[in-house]
């Protein structure tokens, strides 16, 4: 049994209130819904497709004749019931981004079997040639489900409000290893007569389908603690294990804050650099970018973040993508509480202060505090930039400071318990907060401004800003450099990622060529192997059309595929019009084949 806490009996509840309707899914779960997904797939690296069957257990309302699933560019061969009798099905009109509904006549079937293949262009999957791996010898496959990509390789109801348990059997080439976001039942795989290997997995808890994830490649494992470990390519495993030494303690720390970790093991998979995100909270197996491996453990808040999602996101899940701040805002807050308890209040304050900087920048870039896209809930196009993270966590910090830590922490622990393994809406959270924390205290209700925070644009006037005295020292260096001090006279020896970020982002955007050259000479920024520092430096260089940094830029965008580090560079180039756009186009043409489909999707739009 994987679970430290047994899964609840029966299918997870769904929400039927109007605001819980998922506009990005075709499913009609009140009529018929998927409760379990059983995959039997071959990963075919030659055709870059997943092929096989998905058997779905169905719970249908009395009289329901059909079930509607989400798909995106799947090729369906046939669909049968459990006994192999063919069922009628049809695929509806394709909608850009969302995909197409697959409607199946149930004919009373409680289990249906879909025979299908994914497209080589499936938006969840990136098939890496050997050159794009650390080992350079074997290919690699990685998936990214959130938000709505999994329908490109799994035909199911792809909505975060429709939880499903799952099992899988995955056949891979004999020299590769498969891992998934569930219990790994066959760590060594089973030999098949044709030289391939079969791996089996199980997730006994009902999870939102965006949390089903897979990676296949030359993957090694190293234990870190009794229930923690790290997977990575052999060439990366030592560095990864060194960076992740505190992982077991991190799990214990998280539990000491908000209750038991309910998923059994907590492992981290460090992927090749084309992984499109910093991290992804796949249950039991966080997926992580190798760019966080800076050798000094300065960026392990990334792991604290993905671990925290084991409560906020994976246990209590945003019911729709309009409620995404319930995942990301809660998690950004929780992440910082882990960092504070595991390391120090000073370190947590540094990171929280950078969140505040990000909040201010996003509010500005969104077009100011009145912009509708700055609402946590409400904009169908999504909340601007990282405001789900920055504004969402600031909201929770403000509640904490208003009611006091003891009371807030007790509430939050009980909240995760009350809603474990269930979807949650913004309205549902506010109702729970009122029932269990505010409890009719009119003065408190007025102080908190809950509805303003959740539904209005901008920043309410009770917002709490955590300040870092250590970053104030960096600000003094910004002032010194801006006043003309030579770069080598700055006190920048041993600066961490966060200190460099504050410095480089804090510098006036307009810099003379000689000043940039001075900085680069003194600190080797163009050659920095710290991807966060390199990205922040290149952003400044681009804003000033600083051509000596172009080789560094080219090397960077062709070797790193993490969207948040490279998108600002392409955006910066675009903003430089006639100078920048040709450079952006040339670099993108070269780099595009190395990027994950989700990054290609957004950069195609930007540079079109």
Give min distance, CB of 149 to ligand BES, in A.
Answer: 8
Rounded Cα distance, 480 and 403, in Å: 40
Part in contact with Zn ion (CB under 5 A); list of ranges 28-36, 330-338, 500-508, 554-562: 330-338
The residue from 101, 208, 279, 283 that contacts ligand BES (CB under 6 A) is 279
- Interaction partner, residue 218 (ligand BES, Zn ion, none; CB < 5-8 Å by kind): none
Q: Which does 564 bind (CB under 5 to 8 A by kind): ligand BES, Zn ion, none?
A: ligand BES
The residue number with the shortest CB distance to ligand BES is 278
Is residue 302 a contact point for ligand BES (CB under 6 A)? yes
User: For the packed helices 497-506 and 531-543, what is the interaxial angle rounded to 10 degrees?
Assistant: 10
In the complex, least distance from residue 302 CB atom to ligand BES, rounded to whole angstroms: 4
Stretch that binds ligand BES, among 53-61, 153-161, 275-283, 443-451 (CB under 6 A): 275-283
Which one of 103, 147, 373, 544 is in contact with ligand BES (CB under 6 A)? Answer: 147
**Could you tell me which stretch among 261-269, 296-304, 325-333, 455-463 binds Zn ion (CB under 5 A)?**
325-333
Comparing CB distances to Zn ion, the nearer of 126 and 331 is: 331
Q: Pick the closest to residue 170 from 327, 21, 273, 54 (CA basis).
A: 54
Rounded-to-integer distance, Cα 336 and Cα 352, Å: 7
Binding piece for ligand BES, criterion CB under 6 A, among 271-279, 339-347, 448-456, 583-591? 271-279
Q: What would the x/- binding string for ligand BES be over residues 303 to 342, using CB under 6 A?
A: --xx--x------------------x--------------
* Catalytic residue of the set 306, 340, 400, 539: 306
User: Please, which residue, 309 or 515, has the CB nearer to ligand BES?
Assistant: 309
Residues 509-568 that bind ligand BES (CB under 6 A): 564
Min separation Cβ 308 and Zn ion, Å: 8
Please say which residue, 35 or 327, places its beta carbon nearer to Zn ion.
327
Question: Rounded to an integer, what distance in angstroms lies between the CA atom of residue 601 and that of residue 309?
Answer: 25
Which of Zn ion, ligand BES, none does 266 bind, CB closer than 5 to 8 A by kind?
none
Specify the long-range contacts of residues 498-502, CB closer than 8 Å, at least 24 apart: 498/298, 498/350, 498/351, 498/354, 498/471, 499/350, 499/470, 499/471, 499/474, 500/530, 500/532, 500/533, 500/536, 501/354, 501/532, 501/533, 501/536, 502/353, 502/354, 502/357, 502/471, 502/474, 502/475, 502/478
Query: Smaller CB distance to ligand BES: residue 403 or 565?
Result: 565
DSSP bridge pairs for 190:
198
Q: Which stretch binds Zn ion (CB under 5 A): 323-331, 462-470, 483-491, 525-533?
A: 323-331
Locate 491 and state its tokens.
């006190």
**How far apart are the C-alpha atoms of 330 and 171, rounded to whole Å?**
37
How many chain residues touch ligand BES (CB under 6 A)?
A: 14
Please list the residues that pair with 373 across neighbouring strands. Answer: none
Separation between Cα atoms, residue 30 and residue 404, nearest integer Å: 41
Closest approach of Cβ 218 to Zn ion, in Å?
Answer: 28
Which SS3 state, helix, strand or coil, does residue 27 take? coil
By CB under 6 A, is residue 277 in contact with ligand BES?
A: yes
Q: Rounded CA gap, 332 and 355, in Å? A: 9
Q: How far is the CB of 331 from ligand BES (least distance, A)?
A: 6
Nearer to ligand BES, 53 or 383 (CB): 383
Reply yes or no on whether 389 is catalytic: yes
Nearest CA-CA partner of 420 in 316, 527, 536: 316
280 counts as binding ligand BES under rule CB under 6 A: yes
275 close to 289: Cβ distance less than 8 angstroms? yes
**Number of residues written out for the chain:** 608
Stretch that binds ligand BES, among 112-120, 301-309, 410-418, 434-442 (CB under 6 A): 301-309
Closest CB 383 distance from ligand BES, rounded Å:
11
Q: Smallest distance from the beta carbon of 288 to ligand BES, in angstroms?
A: 9
**Contact at 8 Å (CB) between 359 and 397?**
no
Binding of residue 278 to ligand BES (CB under 6 A): yes
Cα 374 to Cα 367: distance, rounded to the nearest angstrom: 9
Alpha carbon 599 to chain centroid, angstroms: 13
| Cα separation, 536 vs 558, whole angstroms | 17
Measure the CA–CA gap between 138 and 126, rounded to whole angstroms: 14
Q: Does 158 interact with ligand BES (rule: CB under 6 A)?
A: no
Q: Which is nearer to ligand BES, 334 or 523 (CB)?
A: 334
Closest separation in Å from C-beta 281 to Zn ion = 6
Is 381 a known active-site residue?
A: no
Catalytic residue from among 210, 231, 389, 523: 389
CB 269 within 8 A of CB 244: no
Q: Are strands 266-270 and 197-207 parallel, antiparallel or unpaired?
A: unpaired
If the CB atoms of residues 182 and 279 are measured against ligand BES, the closer one turns out to be 279
Instruction: Classify each residue of 433-453 as buried b or exposed e, where b means 16 or more C-beta atoms within 10 Å of its C-beta.
Output: bbeebbeeeeebeeebbbeeb
CB of residue 353 to ligand BES, shortest distance in Å = 15
Give the active site residues: 306, 389
Residues that bind Zn ion (CB under 5 A): 328, 331
Residues that bind ligand BES (CB under 6 A): 146-147, 277-281, 302, 305-306, 309, 328, 389, 564
């Amino acid at each position: 049994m994987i679970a430290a806490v047994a899964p609840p009996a029966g299918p997870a509840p769904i929400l039927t209130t109007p605001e819980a309707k998922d506009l990005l899914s075709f499913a009609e779960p009140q009529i018929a819904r998927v409760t379990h997904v059983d995959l039997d797939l071959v990963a075919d690296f030659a055709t870059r497709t997943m092929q096989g069957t998905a058997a779905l257990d169905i719970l249908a309302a009395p009289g329901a004749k059909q079930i509607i699933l989400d798909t995106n560019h799947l090729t369906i061969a046939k669909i049968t019931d459990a006994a192999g009798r063919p069922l009628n099905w049809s695929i509806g009109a394709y909608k850009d981004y969302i995909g197409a509904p697959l409607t199946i006549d149930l004919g009373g079937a409680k289990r249906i079997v879909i025979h299908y293949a994914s497209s080589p262009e499936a938006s969840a999957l990136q098939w890496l040639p050997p050159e794009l791996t650390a080992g350079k010898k074997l290919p690699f496959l990685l998936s990214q489900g959130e938000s709505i990509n999994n329908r490109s390789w799994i035909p199911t109801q792809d909505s975060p409000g429709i939880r499903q348990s799952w099992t899988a059997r995955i056949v891979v080439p004999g020299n590769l290893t498969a891992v998934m976001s569930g219990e790994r039942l066959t760590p060594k795989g089973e030999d098949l007569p044709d030289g391939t290997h079969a791996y089996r997995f199980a997730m006994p808890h009902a999870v939102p389908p965006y949390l089903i994830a897979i990676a296949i490649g030359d993957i090694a494992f190293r234990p870190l603690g009794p229930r923690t470990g790290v997977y990575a390519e052999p060439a990366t495993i030592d560095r990864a294990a060194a960076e992740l030494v505190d992982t077991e303690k991190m799990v214990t720390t998280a539990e000491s804050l908000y209750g038991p970790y309910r998923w059994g093991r907590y492992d981290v998979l460090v992927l090749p650099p084309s992984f499109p995100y910093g991290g992804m909270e796949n249950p039991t197996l966080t997926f992580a970018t190798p760019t966080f491996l800076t050798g000094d453990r300065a960026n392990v808040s990334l792991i604290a973040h993905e671990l925290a999602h084991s409560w906020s996101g994976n246990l209590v899940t945003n019911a729709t993508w309009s409620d995404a701040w319930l995942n990301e805002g809660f998690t950004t807050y929780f992440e910082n509480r882990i960092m504070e308890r595991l390391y120090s209040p000073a370190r947590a304050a540094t990171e929280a202060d950078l969140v505040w900087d990000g909040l201010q920048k996003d509010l500005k870039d969104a077009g100011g505090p009145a912009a509708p896209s700055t609402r946590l809930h409400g904009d169908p196009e999504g909340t601007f930039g990282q405001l789900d993270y920055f504004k969402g966590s600031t909201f929770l910090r403000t509640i904490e400071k208003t009611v006091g830590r003891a009371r807030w922490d007790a509430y939050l622990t009980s909240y995760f318990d009350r809603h474990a393994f269930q979807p949650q809406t913004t309205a549902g959270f506010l109702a729970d907060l009122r029932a269990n924390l505010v409890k009719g205290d009119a003065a408190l209700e007025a102080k908190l401004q809950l509805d303003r925070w959740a539904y209005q644009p901008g920043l309410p006037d009770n917002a709490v800003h955590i300040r870092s005295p250590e970053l104030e020292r960096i600000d003094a260096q910004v002032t010194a450099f801006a006043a003309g001090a030579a770069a080598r006279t700055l006190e920048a020896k041993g600066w961490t990622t966060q200190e460099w970020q504050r410095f480089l982002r804090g510098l006036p955007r307009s810099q003379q060529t000689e000043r940039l050259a001075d900085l680069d000479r003194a600190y080797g920024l163009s050659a920095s192997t710290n991807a966060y520092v390199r990205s922040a430096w290149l952003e400044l260089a681009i804003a000033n059309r600083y051509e000596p940094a172009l080789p560094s830029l080219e090397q960077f965008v062709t070797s790193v595929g993490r969207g948040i580090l490279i998108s600002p560079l392409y955006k910066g180039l675009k903003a430089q019009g006639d100078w920048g756009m040709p450079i952006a186009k040339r670099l993108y043409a070269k780099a595009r084949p190395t990027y994950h489909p989700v990054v290609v999707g957004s950069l195609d739009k930007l540079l079109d």
